[in-house]
Amino acid sequence: MAIKQFTFSFKLNAEELLAYVVEHNIAVSIEAYGTGPKKPQAQQELAEITELPAMLALPGPRMGKQSIQAVIIAFLLRHQEGATATTLRELLDQSGHSQKSFNGQIHLLKQKGLVKSNGHGAFKATPKALKATGASS
Protein backbone atom coordinates (compact mmCIF):
# COMPACT_ATOMS: atom_id res chain seq x y z
CA MET A 1 0.00 0.00 0.00
CA ALA A 2 1.52 3.28 -1.11
CA ILE A 3 1.41 6.39 1.04
CA LYS A 4 -0.41 9.14 -0.83
CA GLN A 5 -0.12 12.06 1.52
CA PHE A 6 1.83 13.39 4.51
CA THR A 7 0.73 16.19 6.79
CA PHE A 8 3.43 18.22 8.54
CA SER A 9 3.04 20.85 11.20
CA PHE A 10 5.86 23.21 12.12
CA LYS A 11 6.33 26.89 12.90
CA LEU A 12 8.06 29.04 10.29
CA ASN A 13 8.48 32.68 9.54
CA ALA A 14 5.75 33.47 6.99
CA GLU A 15 8.04 35.51 4.70
CA GLU A 16 10.66 32.75 4.49
CA LEU A 17 8.07 30.07 3.79
CA LEU A 18 6.37 32.03 1.01
CA ALA A 19 9.74 32.98 -0.54
CA TYR A 20 10.71 29.27 -0.63
CA VAL A 21 7.37 28.26 -2.21
CA VAL A 22 7.68 30.96 -4.90
CA GLU A 23 11.37 30.22 -5.57
CA HIS A 24 10.88 26.45 -6.04
CA ASN A 25 7.42 26.67 -7.66
CA ILE A 26 5.92 23.88 -5.56
CA ALA A 27 2.29 23.08 -4.79
CA VAL A 28 1.57 23.72 -1.14
CA SER A 29 -1.61 23.60 0.88
CA ILE A 30 -1.39 26.02 3.78
CA GLU A 31 -3.88 26.30 6.62
CA ALA A 32 -3.30 29.34 8.81
CA TYR A 33 -4.86 29.81 12.22
CA GLY A 34 -5.07 33.08 14.11
CA THR A 35 -2.85 33.59 17.10
CA GLY A 36 -5.27 35.82 19.00
CA PRO A 37 -7.23 34.44 21.93
CA LYS A 38 -10.47 32.73 20.97
CA LYS A 39 -13.72 34.01 22.37
CA PRO A 40 -15.44 31.08 24.10
CA GLN A 41 -18.73 30.05 22.50
CA ALA A 42 -20.54 30.39 25.82
CA GLN A 43 -19.58 34.09 25.95
CA GLN A 44 -20.84 34.61 22.40
CA GLU A 45 -24.16 32.97 23.26
CA LEU A 46 -24.43 35.04 26.43
CA ALA A 47 -23.84 38.22 24.43
CA GLU A 48 -26.63 37.22 22.04
CA ILE A 49 -29.01 36.45 24.91
CA THR A 50 -28.37 39.78 26.65
CA GLU A 51 -29.32 41.60 23.44
CA LEU A 52 -32.87 40.20 23.58
CA PRO A 53 -35.75 42.55 24.36
CA ALA A 54 -36.38 42.97 28.09
CA MET A 55 -40.02 41.91 27.80
CA LEU A 56 -38.98 38.32 27.01
CA ALA A 57 -36.92 37.86 30.17
CA LEU A 58 -37.42 34.60 32.05
CA PRO A 59 -37.27 34.09 35.80
CA GLY A 60 -33.86 33.33 37.33
CA PRO A 61 -32.03 30.12 36.46
CA ARG A 62 -33.17 26.86 38.04
CA MET A 63 -31.75 23.41 38.18
CA GLY A 64 -32.62 21.77 34.87
CA LYS A 65 -35.03 22.97 32.26
CA GLN A 66 -38.37 24.49 33.24
CA SER A 67 -41.52 22.91 31.90
CA ILE A 68 -43.34 24.65 29.07
CA GLN A 69 -46.29 25.42 31.32
CA ALA A 70 -44.03 26.90 34.01
CA VAL A 71 -42.33 29.14 31.43
CA ILE A 72 -45.66 30.40 30.10
CA ILE A 73 -47.16 31.00 33.55
CA ALA A 74 -44.04 32.77 34.85
CA PHE A 75 -44.02 35.08 31.85
CA LEU A 76 -47.74 35.87 32.08
CA LEU A 77 -47.44 36.58 35.82
CA ARG A 78 -44.65 39.05 35.13
CA HIS A 79 -46.68 40.71 32.38
CA GLN A 80 -50.12 41.29 33.88
CA GLU A 81 -51.35 43.00 30.70
CA GLY A 82 -51.07 39.66 28.90
CA ALA A 83 -49.09 38.47 25.91
CA THR A 84 -49.83 37.45 22.34
CA ALA A 85 -49.45 33.91 21.06
CA THR A 86 -46.54 35.06 18.85
CA THR A 87 -44.68 36.46 21.85
CA LEU A 88 -45.24 33.29 23.85
CA ARG A 89 -44.04 31.11 20.96
CA GLU A 90 -40.83 33.19 20.75
CA LEU A 91 -40.43 32.78 24.49
CA LEU A 92 -40.71 28.99 24.19
CA ASP A 93 -38.12 28.99 21.43
CA GLN A 94 -35.72 31.08 23.55
CA SER A 95 -36.17 28.80 26.54
CA GLY A 96 -35.26 25.73 24.46
CA HIS A 97 -38.74 24.32 23.85
CA SER A 98 -40.51 23.62 20.57
CA GLN A 99 -42.89 26.30 19.35
CA LYS A 100 -45.13 23.51 18.08
CA SER A 101 -45.98 22.59 21.69
CA PHE A 102 -47.61 25.96 22.36
CA ASN A 103 -51.20 25.19 21.29
CA GLY A 104 -51.47 22.00 23.32
CA GLN A 105 -49.88 23.49 26.42
CA ILE A 106 -51.97 26.67 26.36
CA HIS A 107 -55.07 24.49 25.98
CA LEU A 108 -54.11 22.50 29.09
CA LEU A 109 -53.44 25.69 31.05
CA LYS A 110 -56.86 27.03 30.04
CA GLN A 111 -58.51 23.76 31.14
CA LYS A 112 -56.78 24.03 34.54
CA GLY A 113 -58.07 27.60 34.83
CA LEU A 114 -54.59 29.13 35.05
CA VAL A 115 -54.75 31.08 31.78
CA LYS A 116 -57.60 32.78 29.98
CA SER A 117 -57.88 34.12 26.47
CA ASN A 118 -57.72 37.88 26.40
CA GLY A 119 -59.10 38.04 22.86
CA HIS A 120 -57.49 37.85 19.39
CA GLY A 121 -54.68 35.46 20.25
CA ALA A 122 -53.72 37.15 23.51
CA PHE A 123 -53.50 35.36 26.85
CA LYS A 124 -53.49 36.45 30.49
CA ALA A 125 -52.81 34.69 33.80
CA THR A 126 -55.88 34.21 35.99
CA PRO A 127 -56.17 34.95 39.73
CA LYS A 128 -56.02 31.15 40.26
CA ALA A 129 -52.52 31.16 38.72
CA LEU A 130 -51.50 33.93 41.09
CA LYS A 131 -52.69 31.92 44.09
CA ALA A 132 -51.16 28.67 42.84
CA THR A 133 -47.72 30.20 42.44
CA GLY A 134 -47.87 32.42 45.49
CA ALA A 135 -47.03 35.49 43.37
CA SER A 136 -48.29 38.88 44.46
CA SER A 137 -50.13 41.09 42.02
Whole-angstrom distance, CA of residue 89 vs CA of residue 123: 12
- For 118, phi and psi rounded to 5 degrees? -100, 5
pLDDT in tens, 29-56: 766 666 666 666 666 555 555 554 555 5
CA-to-CA distance for 110 and 97, rounded, in angstroms?
19
The stretch 4-13 carries a mean pLDDT of 74
Name residue 58's beta-bridge partners: none
pLDDT in tens, 89-136: 999 888 888 888 889 999 999 999 999 998 788 999 888 888 877 655
- Per-residue confidence (pLDDT) for residue 123, from 0 to 100: 92
Distance CA 115, CA 118 (A): 9
Q: pLDDT higher for 81 or 7?
A: 81
Of 19 and 56, which is predicted with more confidence? 19
With CA atoms as reference, report the closest residue to 132 among 104, 107, 105, 109.
Answer: 109
Q: What is the pLDDT of residue 58?
A: 57
Q: What is the mean pLDDT of residues 80-95?
A: 89
pLDDT at 116: 92
Domains and CATH numbers, the chain: 60-133 (1.10.10.10)
* Higher per-residue confidence, 14 vs 129: 129
Torsion angle of C-alpha atoms 85, 44, 67, 70, degrees rounded to 10: -60
CA dihedral defined by 129, 132, 135, 136, rounded to 10 degrees? Answer: 80
Report residue 4's pLDDT band, with 50, 70 and 90 as the boundaries. Answer: confident
pLDDT at position 88 over 80: yes
In a 3-state reduction of DSSP, which class is residue 112? coil
